[in-house]
Amino acid sequence: MTIILCTFVWCLFLLLQACHEPKMLRYARLQKPAWLQRAGVFRFVLPLVTLALCFAERASTAVPVWIATFSVAGLLVALGWAGLARYRELLVTSANVRAKTLGKE
Amino acid sequence: MQDTLRTRMGWLHAWVGFAAGLLLFCVFASGCLAVFDTELTRWLQPEAPPQTEAFSPQSLDHVLPAVHDLLVQGEKPFITLPSARDPYLRLEHHDGHEFLTVPYNPQTGERLNVRATAGGTFFYDLHYTMRSGVYGETVVAFAGLALLLTIGSGIIIHLKGLISDLMLLRPFAARLRAWLDVHVVAAVVFLPFILLMAYSGTFIRARTLFPPVSYFASVENAFRASAPSTHQKSEKPAVSIPSTFPPLAPLVAEAERTIGAGQTGYILFQPQNILISRTDASGPLLTREHVDFSPVDGHVLRHVLLPGAITHTEQVLKGLHYARWTGAGMRWLYFISGAMGAVMFASGSIIFLMKRRRQSGERLMFRIAEGLAIGSVVGLPMGALAFFWANRLLPVALQDRPLAEGHVFLAIWVLSAVSGMVWSLLGRPFQGWKIQLFCLAGLGLFLTPLDVVTRPGVTFFHVPTVFAATDLVAFFLALVSFQMARRL
Amino acid sequence: MPSEAPSTARSRRSGAIVSSPARWWIWRAVFVFALVWMAAHFITLGALKWGPPVRHDATVLGQMIAVAAFPLLFLLAFGTRSPLRGGIIAGAVGVVALLAVLLHS
């Protein structure tokens, strides 16, 4: 249960991190939301939350669990972001095609 | 090419990475299977029912005649006590490659009638020796050092984009770009795991690389040892094996008073003593603390617990590497991380070949390298799946069955490597990749039907899910390889 | 799978003389490897002299340091612009490790 929870919180953190990376935003054709400016620093609380969760579960194994869940969350976010980017790309392409067709008509 | 730090590191990363990467792919792939060695052994012995009765310490005494037989044969048998991970009492011994196990009913001590198999520890032996004994161990340890070098040079090359490209995966971009992204995501996101495994793994086998004796002395000793030493042998007193052992239940209870209730894991039998050892599942500190008993009357001989900060550091490194303390969740995290390590090597090797194909695609060395890459990246998973197939299809009464399973694995692996090499030398490497990926997909896809057909008393919904999990992983591997073959 | 270019493609710069430092790097890597390997070996040997009194602990400590030092030293020695400087760094560490073996005996 802790592993799933930690992975979820890590995913949240990494998503916020991705939203702060211009390269990632460009890739997914997204604009940086305004509310993220204020939430910027607070995202760094999330790794500490996951660490606390891991320690609460079992102190002797906290660090390996913390690191391993980070890696898996990173993979999940990377896959999810790639899917999102593909979806946005198809969306934009089809919108462009529609606009061209309408323009021709 | 300019002589800058980045180009130097790039050159080192590419060549050391490719040379060691093909072997390291096998090490990581077999390592992530070895994490589930006990579970795989249960899949490979389907006659043992998924659930069994509660453990009774009295049942241990029923195993003693078999223990005696193994001792007489010169083996070092040990009993693994039931745990949450594996409910059976198991009598095990090392046959020089893997730990052969016979399960017993934990309530009655009755031997379960199961097929002989190399079991999940087959992959454990493959992981650190490549089934080549001490020479293989040395080569794997050397590859571990090469991995540390590759990681270091990779970090230097990629330092600028380490954070910004952390999750940048573009599978639909140009092929080289897509493979680079796969390589970077697998390497950077799983860097802590890969670094830990590289360092701890190399350190665990460091005695083969950095022995604590001078190389000159080693060479001298090697020549000295070749001289006949019959005189020395005859001086050694022969230790007699006791005809009967004391009842084990009181010994386990006594050991638990010292080690802690429920903390005993193994009972190792030697002619001169019986060692009751702490379970590896107790925590990341792999202490192997044990209480020794006399095999004649069962009195306590000594309690062994190695103290000291350095020993504890060593035990933590071993504990983290072997991952025997983990529960099912953490075990899956290890499995995924190991699989991503293998993906990192596979993608790295593919990038290496892609970058050089234009300039050196016609060269013999390039073709050999590509053939080897096919044999490693697709051949090893095919061999592993063939091992599972052999386990279910070989006759149960076959003589030396565990060895036969291993031979099937090796035969398929060699066949894959040879076929990959032939296709590559004929100048049609994509044909080689494609055929083998389709074969891999077929082997993985039909493992579930094979399991359902050949497993006695098959039920679809039961706990634990070792059968379902193994079949699903094989199915997933089949889907991935099918998709890759299709996109070629 | 690798399919960036057809396997029959020829060199783009056929005829042009390209001086690549890669050939020279092989020898440099071999030289650095030999020096660093000796340094790591002497660290392992020396640990028995300057390390903890218990032989097992001393061996383990020496091997821990050697395994960590090998890649660091190699990258340091191979990474310097001047091969001579890299050789001097690796050689100096090796000499210090050797002196530690000799002086304690």
pLDDT digits (tens, 9 = 90+) for B308-352: 889 999 999 999 999 998 888 999 999 999 999 999 999 999 999
Q: How many angstroms separate the most distant Cα atoms in chain B?
A: 75
Give domain status of residue B168, yes or no. no
Domain boundary among B274, B295, B316: B295
Structure confidence at residue A28 (pLDDT): 87
Structure confidence at residue B464 (pLDDT): 63
* Residue C56 near residue C30, CB atoms below 8 Å: no
Residue B233 banded pLDDT, cuts 50, 70, 90 = very low
Q: At what angle do helices B5-34 and B37-44 cross, to 10 degrees?
A: 40
Report the sign of the C-alpha dihedral through residues B178, B184, B190, B194, in that order. positive
Query: Phi and psi at residue C22, in whole multiples of 5°?
Result: -60, -40
Question: To the nearest whole number, what is the mean pLDDT of chain A?
Answer: 88
Domain boundary among B271, B295, B319: B295
Are B425 and B283 in a shared domain? no
* Residue B146 near residue B25, CB atoms below 8 Å: no
The structural domain count of chain B equals 2
C101: left (phi over 0), alpha (psi -120 to 50) or beta: alpha
Are B286 and B376 in a shared domain? no
Q: Report whether pLDDT(C9) > 80.
A: no
Domain that holds residue A82: 2-104
Nearest to A74 among B172, B189, B320 (CB): B189
**Which DSSP category does B88 fall into?**
S
Interface test with B, best of A29, A72, A77, A88 (most B CBs within 10 A): A72
The structural domain count of chain A equals 1
Please give, one letter per residue, the 3-state secondary structure of A46-62.
Answer: HHHHHHHHHHHHCHHHH
- List, for residues A3-15, the tens digit of each pLDDT value: 999 999 999 999 9
Query: CB contact, 8 Å: B202 with chain C?
Result: yes
- List, for residues B53-107, the tens digit of each pLDDT value: 888 888 999 999 999 999 988 889 999 999 888 889 999 998 888 888 999 999 9
User: What is the three-class DSSP state of B300?
Assistant: strand
- List, for residues B371-414, the tens digit of each pLDDT value: 999 999 999 999 999 999 999 999 999 988 999 999 999 999 99
Residue in B97, B69, B63 with CA at minimum distance from that of residue B81? B63
Structure confidence at residue C14 (pLDDT): 46
Question: Taking the model in full, what pTM does it have?
Answer: 0.91
Indicate yes or no: CB of A81 within 8 angstroms of CB of B325: no
CA distance C71 to chain B (A): 5
Residues 15-44 of C with CB under 8 A from B: 20-22, 25, 29, 40-41, 43-44
Residues 65-104 of C with CB under 8 A from B: 66-68, 70-72, 74-75, 78-79, 81
- Contact residues, chain B, for C94 at CB < 8 Å: none
Query: CB contact, 8 Å: B254 with chain C?
Result: no
- List, for residues C40-78, the tens digit of each pLDDT value: 999 999 999 888 888 999 999 999 999 999 999 999 999
CB neighbours of B104 closer than 8 A, spacing ≥ 6?
Answer: B59, B62, B63, B88, B89, B90, B91, B110, B111, B112
Residue B282 banded pLDDT, cuts 50, 70, 90 = confident
Interface test with B, best of A44, A71, A76 (most B CBs within 10 A): A71
Structure confidence at residue B139 (pLDDT): 94
Residue in B25, B12, B28 with CA at minimum distance from that of residue B349? B25
- C-alpha of C89 from chain center: 11
Note the residue count of chain C. 105
Q: Which residue has the higher pLDDT, B73 or A41?
A: B73
**Which DSSP category does B185 fall into?**
I
| Contact B/C (≥3 CB pairs under 8 Å) | yes
B96: left (phi over 0), alpha (psi -120 to 50) or beta: left
Structure confidence at residue A99 (pLDDT): 85
**Residue B469: both structure tokens together:** 């999990």
State percent of chain A over pLDDT 70. 99
- CA angle B229-B235-B237, nearest 5°? 130
CB neighbours of B101 closer than 8 A, spacing ≥ 6?
Answer: B41, B80, B90, B91, B92, B119, B121
Domain that holds residue B478: 361-487
- List, for residues B235-264, the tens digit of each pLDDT value: 445 678 888 888 989 999 999 999 888 889
Residue in A56, A73, A54 with CA at minimum distance from that of residue A13? A73
Structure confidence at residue B225 (pLDDT): 57
Are B247 and B113 in a shared domain? yes
- C-alpha span between B450 and B471 (Å, rounded): 10
User: What is the three-class DSSP state of B348?
Assistant: helix
- List, for residues B195-213, the tens digit of each pLDDT value: 999 999 999 999 999 988 8
Domain boundaries defined on chain C: 33-104
With contact defined as 3+ CB pairs under 8 Å, the chains touching C are B
Structure confidence at residue B461 (pLDDT): 65
- Report the range out of A3-7, A30-34, C20-24 with the highest average pLDDT: A3-7
